Amino acid sequence: MSNSQPESEEGVVFSPIFCDENADLTIRSSDGVLFKVFSKNLSTFSTAFPSPEHIPPGRNEVIQLSESAAVLDLLFQFMRPQCQPDLHAISFKVGGALADAVQKYNVFPAGGVCNIYMSTAAPTFPIEVLKYSYKHSQPAVGDLAAPHTLGEDVQAIQHVFPSHGVLAWMLYREGWLTILHNIHNPYPDDGPHDTHPEDIGCDDWEHHRRSLLDRIGLRFESLVKLEDSFKEARSARTGCLDCRSMMRTWYFSLRKTINSLPKFSSFL
């Protein structure tokens, strides 16, 4: 919170939700909207705001905050006795700023909800979510975002972490890079198939294997979304049951290898 400013009655815009004249605290958003809130509620659900006994009677000033009205509107709803607001339909611009504000002001009733929101947003906004997790010490959220940042260049990661964090990210990426390179080795091969009476390899297998490797390429995201990468190959209408079985075995082997990789937070 910044220094208080005198309240002006000219051209004032009040929040339609937080406009109770009996409220003992007035807060202005970064875009100029005023919120009339009760200090008792704020001090009950947060450690950053003054309790009623610390507000002089008849105080006529406005506390300026750096968050927008859209963010404060949601933030203050978490700090009064009501159902929590629904965050499903809000933009990431608002939701990400809300999650930051919740951590900044230690609004503990909203912490878990915002972590779930940021975790859900990780595949779409991985850099922003990773930055949030590091800034506010939320390693579980960062572990969900980190795989989706593997395709970024180091310059982008430098905007998230100090030098030791960048090194941790590079070490984390190394394990994924090894898998990505190894997947293009000539394993598994097209060994004898029980369904072929001649006990020879199947022409279908090399086609499906090459098709899958072409889809994966050298893209980290193909490993992160491994099931999608295998989906077409696993559902291919081949008459060879052995080819289908080998594709399933390949998928589960790769999934097991990926799941065994250390989490990003272990490198920090």
**How confident is the model at residue 67, as a pLDDT?**
98
> Taking the chain (268 residues) in consecutive chunks of 10 residues, what is each chunk's mean pLDDT?
48 91 93 95 90 73 93 96 92 98 95 97 97 96 98 94 95 95 70 54 73 86 90 62 81 94 96
Contact (CB, 8 A) for 97 and 67: yes
> What single-letter amino acid sits at 193?
H
Phi and psi torsions of 37, nearest 5°: -130, 160
**pTM, two decimal places:** 0.86
Burial of 247 (0-12, 13-18, 19+ CB in 10 A): buried
pLDDT score recorded for residue 100: 98
How many whole angstroms from its chain centre is CA 247? Answer: 31
> Is 140 strand, coil or helix?
helix
Pairing mode, strands 61-64 and 33-37: unpaired
Helix, strand and coil percent figures for the chain, each rounded to 5? 55, 10, 35
Sign (positive or negative) of CA dihedral 159, 161, 162, 167: negative
ω into 188 cis (within 30 of 0): yes
pLDDT at 243: 78
